[in-house]
Amino acid sequence: MDNPEPIETFFSPAVRELAPYEPPDWEGLARRAGVEVDQLLRLDANENPYPLSPRAVAAVARFDGYSFYPDYKALEQAVARYAGVSPENVVLGNGGDEIIDLAIRLFVPHGGAAIVCPPAFSMYSVSLAALERQAVAVPRCDDWAPDLAAIEAAVAREGARLLFVTSPGNPDGQPVPREAIRRLLALPLVVLVDEAYVEFGGESAAPLLAEHPNLVVLRTFSKWAGMAGLRLGYALASPAVTAALHRLRLPYNVNAAAAVAALATLQEPDHALSTVARIVAERERLAAALGGLPGVRVVPGQANFVLCTLDGRSGRQVAGALAERGVLVRSFGQEAAAGPSLAGAIRVTVGRPEQNDAFLDALCSVLGVQGPAVRLDDPPPRSGRVHRQTRETDVVVTLVLDGTGRYDVQTGIAFLDHMLAQVAAHGLLDLTVRARGDLDVDEHHTAEDVAIALGQALDAALGDRRGLVRMGHAYAPLDEALARVVLDLSGRPYAVVDARFDTPRLGTMDSDLVVHFFETLAMHGRLGLHAHVLAGRNGHHCAEALFKALGRALDAASRLDDRRQGIPSTKGVL
Ligand code: PMP
Query: Is pLDDT above 60 for 374?
Result: no
pLDDT band for position 24 (cuts 50, 70, 90): confident
Q: From ligand 1's centre to the CA of 228, what distance in Å?
A: 9
- Please tell me whether residue 260 adopts helix, strand or coil conformation: helix
Model confidence band, residue 506 (pLDDT cutoffs 50, 70, 90): very high
Place 391 in a pLDDT band, splitting at 50, 70 and 90: confident
What average pLDDT does range 445-460 have in this prediction?
A: 96
Please report the sign of the dihedral spanned by the C-alpha atoms of residue 489, residue 495, residue 501, residue 506.
Answer: positive
Closest atom of ligand 1 relative to the 100 alpha carbon: 10
Question: Does an H or E element contain 316, and which?
Answer: helix 315-324
Ligand 1 proximity of 220 Cβ (cutoff 6 Å)? yes
Q: 478 CA distance to ligand 1 centroid (A)?
A: 47
The average pLDDT across 27-51 equals 95
Q: Residue 573 above 90 pLDDT?
A: no
pLDDT at residue 208 is higher than 60: yes
**What is the per-residue pLDDT for 235?**
98
Least confident interval from 299-313, 329-343, 381-395, 496-510: 329-343
Tell whether the model's pLDDT for residue 338 goes beyond 90.
Answer: no
Among 179, 242, 198, smallest CA distance to 216 is for 242
Q: What residue owns the CA closest to ligand 1's atom 11?
A: 96
Q: How far apart are CA 130 and CA 141, in angstroms?
A: 28
- Nearest CA-CA partner of 255 in 236, 229, 273: 229
**Alpha helix ranges (H) inside 186-268:** 239-248, 256-267
Ligand 1 pocket mutation, candidates 97, 102, 122, 140, criterion most atoms within 8 A of CB = 97
pLDDT over 90 percentage in the chain: 78
CB of 173 within 6 A of ligand 1: the answer is no
User: For the residues of 199-210, what is the DSSP string, one character each?
Assistant: GGSS--SGGGTT
Could you tell me the distance, in angstroms and rounded to a whole number, from the CA of residue 547 to the centre of ligand 1? Answer: 40
Residue 64 has pLDDT above 90, yes or no: yes
Are 450 and 409 within 8 A, CB to CB? Answer: no
Whole-number Å distance between alpha carbons of 403 and 336: 32
For residues 267-295, average pLDDT? 91
pLDDT tens digits, one per residue of 113-128: 999 999 999 999 999 9
Mean per-residue pLDDT over the chain, rounded = 93
**Ligand 1 close to Cβ of residue 222 (< 6 A):** yes
Ligand 1 pocket residue status of 46, Cβ below 6 Å = yes
Amino acid identity of residue 1, one-letter, is M
Q: Is the CB of 94 under 6 A from ligand 1?
A: no
Q: 495 versus 407: which is more confidently predicted?
A: 495
Q: Measured from the CB, is residue 169 less than 6 Å from ligand 1?
A: no
- Measured between its terminal Cα atoms, the distance across the chain in Å is 89
96 lines ligand 1 (CB under 6 A): yes
* Alpha-carbon gap, residue 125 to 164, rounded angstroms: 10
Q: Compute the Cα dihedral for 468, 469, 475, 478 and give only its sign.
A: negative
What confidence category does residue 319 fall into, taking pLDDT thresholds of 50, 70 and 90? very high
Q: What order do you get walking across the sheet with 471-478 strand by strand?
A: 471-478, 481-488, 528-535, 494-498
Q: Which of residues 142 and 191 earns the better pLDDT score?
A: 191
569 has a pLDDT exceeding 90: no
Give pTM, 2 decimals.
0.71
Q: Using the predicted structure, report yes or no on whether residue 370 has a pLDDT greater than 90.
A: no
d(CA 491, CA 471): 11
Distance CA 242, CA 117 (A): 25
96 CA from centroid of ligand 1 (Å): 5
Instruction: Return the sign of the alpha-carbon dihedral for residues 540, 545, 548, 550.
Output: negative
The distance from CA 442 to its chain's CA centroid, rounded to whole angstroms, is 28
Does ligand 1 have an atom closer than 6 angstroms to the CB of 427?
no
Q: Which residue has the higher pLDDT, 400 or 359?
A: 359
Tell me the pLDDT band of 106, cut-offs 50, 70 and 90.
very high
Determine the Cα–Cα distance for residues 484 and 473; give it in Å rounded to an integer. Answer: 7
Q: Is 237 in the pocket of ligand 1 (CB under 6 A)?
A: no
CB 192 within 8 A of CB 275: no
Q: Is the CB of 121 under 6 A from ligand 1?
A: yes
Main-chain dihedrals φ then ψ at residue 168, nearest 5 degrees? -60, 150
Q: Measured from the CB, is residue 225 less than 6 Å from ligand 1?
A: no
Does the pLDDT value for residue 335 go beyond 70?
A: no
